[in-house]
Amino acid sequence: MKRSGEDRPGRIKSRRAYTGKVISLDVDTVRFPDGSVGELEMVRHPGASAVVPFLSDPAGGDPQVLLIRQYRYAAEGYLYEIPAGRLNPEENPRDCALRELKEETGCSAEHVDELFTMYTTPGFTDEKIHLFMATGLTSGETKHEADEFLELQPMPLSRALQMIQAGEIQDSKTALGLLFAAGFRASR
C-alpha cells in the first residue's frame, strides 16, 4: 500500500525550545512508521569531523597513531580521543578534519582519506561525524581553544586497540575510527 505524503513517516512540525552555542533543542511532532503521532526531543548539531592521525606508515608493521588525552566535563575526567571538532557553517568536513588536526596536535597532513560518516546517537540527536585518516604528518604549533585541556599521546596502533578492548578508550568516535582504520585501511 502506497502512502500519501501526509501519512509518510517523518516530521509534521517542529518547535525550537533552546538555542545554544553548540546545540539547539527542538520538540518535533513526528508521524511514526505505523501512522501514530508523537513528540520527540531532538538535539540539533551542525556536525563534526574527526581524524585518525598516523605518525608512521599505516601499512608497515605496528604503525604509530597520535591520540589526545582530553579533559571532558560530561565524562567527569579524561578521555583518550582522536582529534575532532564541530563543523563551521558551510565548512567542508575534510577541511574541518585538517583544521582540528592542526589546532589540537599542531600537525599538518600530506594525505587525508575519508573513512566513513556516522550518527553519534540517533535516538536523540541529528549529529553526524565524518571520520578521516591522516598520513604524512609534519609537526607544528597547536592552537587550543580556551576550554581544551589536552595532551598528546603517541602510541603503537596495537596499544590503542588493546586500550579499546580493555575499556580504556571509551570515546565512541575514537574506538570506531581506530577499529575501522586498523581493519580496513592500515593493512592495505
pLDDT of residue 140: 83
Quickly list H helices, the chain: 93-105, 157-165, 172-180
Which residue out of 110, 145, 148, 168 is catalytically annotated?
148
Determine whether 148 is an active site residue. yes
Domains and CATH numbers, the chain: 5-44 (no CATH), 48-185 (3.90.79.10)
Question: pLDDT digits over 14-63, tens only?
Answer: 999 999 998 999 999 999 999 999 999 999 999 999 999 999 999 888 99
Backbone angles phi, psi at 28, to 5 degrees: -105, 135
| Number of neighbours of residue 41 by Cβ within 10 angstroms | 12
pTM of the model: 0.90
* 154 φ, ψ (degrees, to nearest 5): -70, 145
pLDDT given for residue 146 in this prediction: 74
pLDDT value of position 147: 75
Stretch 90-99: mean pLDDT: 97
